[in-house]
A and B are shown apart, each in its own frame.
Chain A
Amino acid sequence: MSIAMPIRLGPAEEALIAQLEGAGAKDAAEALRATGLPNRKLEAYHYTDLKTMLRDVPTANVADGAVTAPKLRIPGAYRVLMANGTASHESTPPNGIIISDESGNALSARDDVLVSMNRGLATSHLKVRLEGSVDPAVHLDYRLSGDARHVATSVLIEVADGATATVVQSFSGSDAAHLGNHGTRIALGKDARLLHIIIDEMEMAARHFHTMEYAIDEKVALTTLGINLGAGLSRTSIFGSFDGGGAHADFSGMNLLDAGQHCDIKLDLTHAVPDTTSTELYKAVVRGDGTSAFQGRIVVAQDAQKTDARMMSQGLMLSDEAQIFTKPELEIYADDVQCGHGATVGDLDENSLFYLMSRGIPKDEAAAILTRAFVQELLDRIEDAELNEALTGMVDEWLVRGDAD
């Protein structure tokens, strides 16, 4: 029998515990007191040691109505503003978009400090239900303003049986040491089709955490694209479960990182029933001494015959100081499945660079063309022209920013 050693807690942990106790989240507070923030010995946080990286905690959930200017505009989208954790929307939602504020939308309980903190502190419990063929994209526009603040949000996106929708979540804010800890549950009904885009454009001082949970029913078609180009420190955890046959999901993301940034994506998918398929494609482009991490795990349950899952992570290092970590895992308990994973990391291909330069294209421009080409296949997944243009513009702006360095 082992004797539990008391954990030495730092000021950040003490502050978080006080905030949880203040919010009446006694269990979460106790859990944090028992374990402290996760460090690198914990598999799930191996590349992101929160105990050392999260040193200070700003004030929690101060609602003051201040809003920063929008960073991303999606033409034609229906926008719901999430200003410092409080939801508001201007007009009556168009047909098929039903917005309500109700409890019971929290993330599922997990042995994960960010999840239990989110469950303990989230103030808004927004529910967005999408029915039928929803024409405008729904844009959940999260903004954190003013001095550093700790904000926890919880949103449920419910896509009804047979519904088709596009949802964009974007995160931006002032350049302060915000701590955003967001939770999003996505429940997909039978035959639902969803394009889910998640964009982190926080400023460098900010710390950004987002946990997503997908429940995928029969014959669902899901496409996700996460674009991370903001926040000094960010961590995205994605959980997904295939619970109905005939469903297909394409999970994807790109980390576009500069010096001083650390961005970690953890993906955890379970093919729980027979006859479901998925692809996972995650790309990282890193400049300066930026760090990108990807941990992907696919579990195929014993019953889940005919699963087809293909996971790939690709990294492009644009400097000698860049760091990219990748760890794909497959856990297969069924015998009639097709699964695979792969990973590549490298710098720009010399042959390609020379080829472009030999046609008169200067080196910087050639490098930008090749970097853009590296992520192009992810942008190609966005069929809507206006949305594609908005996202492409964002990527291009990031590339141009690199030229100025």
Chain B
Amino acid sequence: MSTPMLEIKDLHVRIEDEGTEILKGVNLVVPRGEVHAIMGRNGSGKSTLSYAISGRDGYEITEGDVLLDGQSILEMEADERAAAGLFLAFQYPIEIPGVATMTFLKAAMNAQRKARGEEELATPEFMKAVRSEASELGIDNDMLKRALNVGFSGGEKKRAEILQMALLKPKMCILDETDSGLDIDALKVVSEGVNTLRGPDRSMLVITHYQRLLNHIVPDRVHVFADGRVVESGDKDLALELESKGYAAFDDKAA
């Protein structure tokens, strides 16, 4: 069997200033090219998992390991993890006044290229790449000139996240509640964007508490998350079972 794209081993995480343990031994394997979903109610630790994997300050790993394509990433800074091929699509993309979206995209792409020892992109090449991916997602030029995420609608923010994912070409994508704040039409555009990025060398972890998204992004595996760990795993039908029975049915397993 080939190396999994993402392997989480007995991961324990607590929030630094609070001391409470949020993740209590997460085990999860996402093989190369597969899309897995994590479902869990609010407060079950799903977002903590995404932040801990992507290297946000303030999340202390007390036990366990996270391997990206066979390499432990826990000692890496967030930017190094990104350059190694990890991407987190934020539930709430951050608004950054004073930084044009285009400028940001160029800084991000070139920083990753530099970290990998590649040449910086020439401007025409960069513009061409952005324009072509942007039009696929229905993002117009005007939006690219605006400050990053500032004044973007919920749908525009999520499309901008997918645009970044398309341009940065990560190996492992974590999509944190990508469906939140989206109406049906926007959900379709975003899901189609994600689906076109599926491929044999790219894996995804889709975090959601709502089965709806998984009608559009059909996962290979579904994991139920409760009280800081994975309590049940199954195929895509598990999401439907969860939808009909509710999360409470799985609470016993967390105990």
A positions within 8 Å CB-CB of B: 349-352, 354-363, 365-366, 369-370, 372-377
Say whether B82 contacts A358, CB under 8 Å: yes
Stretch at the interface among B35-43, B88-96, B124-132: B88-96
Nearest CB in chain B: distance from A71 CB, A: 26
CB contacts (< 8 Å) of B99 on chain A: these are: 369-370, 372-373, 376
Residue of A nearest to B116 (CB): A360
Say whether B168 contacts A360, CB under 8 Å: yes
Say whether A354 contacts B115, CB under 8 Å: no
A374 to B147 CA separation, bound complex (whole angstroms) = 12
User: Which of A357, A369, A370, A372 touches B79 (beta carbons < 8 Å)?
Assistant: A357
Whether, in the assembled complex, B44 has its beta carbon less than 8 Å from a beta carbon of chain A, the answer is no
| Beyond A358-B88, A359-B82, A369-B99, 10 additional pairs, beta carbon < 8 A | A352-B94, A358-B78, A359-B168, A361-B107, A369-B107, A373-B96, A373-B98, A373-B147, A376-B98, A376-B99
A354-B57 CB under 8 A given contacts A360-B108, A360-B111, A365-B111: yes
Say whether A361 contacts B96, CB under 8 Å: no
Whether, in the assembled complex, B242 has its beta carbon less than 8 Å from a beta carbon of chain A, the answer is no
Whether, in the assembled complex, B54 has its beta carbon less than 8 Å from a beta carbon of chain A, the answer is yes
Whether, in the assembled complex, B67 has its beta carbon less than 8 Å from a beta carbon of chain A, the answer is no
User: Which of A350, A357, A373 touches B82 (beta carbons < 8 Å)?
Assistant: A357
30 A-B residue pairs with Cβ-Cβ distance under 8 Å, sorted by A, are A350-B58, A351-B94, A354-B56, A354-B94, A355-B90, A355-B94, A355-B96, A356-B107, A357-B79, A357-B82, A358-B54, A358-B56, A358-B81, A358-B87, A358-B88, A359-B79, A359-B104, A359-B164, A359-B168, A360-B82, A360-B108, A360-B115, A360-B168, A362-B115, A363-B77, A370-B96, A370-B99, A373-B99, A377-B97, A377-B98
Residue of B nearest to A371 (CB): B98
A373-B97 CB under 8 A given contacts A360-B111, A361-B111, A363-B77: yes
CB contacts (< 8 Å) of A358 on chain B: these are: 54-56, 78-79, 81-82, 87-88, 90
The secondary-structure label for the interface of chain A is helix
A362 to B80 CA separation, bound complex (whole angstroms) = 8
Nearest CB in chain A: distance from B177 CB, A: 16
Residue of A nearest to B51 (CB): A354
Say whether B78 contacts A365, CB under 8 Å: no
CB contacts (< 8 Å) of A360 on chain B: these are: 79, 82-83, 108, 111-112, 115, 168
Say whether A357 contacts B77, CB under 8 Å: yes
Say whether A359 contacts B96, CB under 8 Å: no
A154 to B147 CA separation, bound complex (whole angstroms) = 42
A233 to B162 CA separation, bound complex (whole angstroms) = 49
Nearest CB in chain A: distance from B78 CB, A: 4
A39 to B5 CA separation, bound complex (whole angstroms) = 66
Say whether B57 contacts A362, CB under 8 Å: no
CB contacts (< 8 Å) of A354 on chain B: these are: 56-57, 78, 94
Residue of A nearest to B90 (CB): A355
Q: Which of A351, A359, A374 has the most CB of B within 10 A?
A: A359
Say whether A374 contacts B57, CB under 8 Å: no
Kindly supply a per-residue 1/0 record for chain B positions 208-235, scoring 1 wherever the CB is within 8 Å of any chain A CB and 0 otherwise.
0000000000000000000000000000
Say whether B97 contacts A361, CB under 8 Å: no
Nearest CB in chain A: distance from B142 CB, A: 17
A373 to B150 CA separation, bound complex (whole angstroms) = 13
CB contacts (< 8 Å) of A376 on chain B: these are: 97-99
Residue of A nearest to B56 (CB): A354
CB contacts (< 8 Å) of A355 on chain B: these are: 90, 93-94, 96
A370 to B90 CA separation, bound complex (whole angstroms) = 19
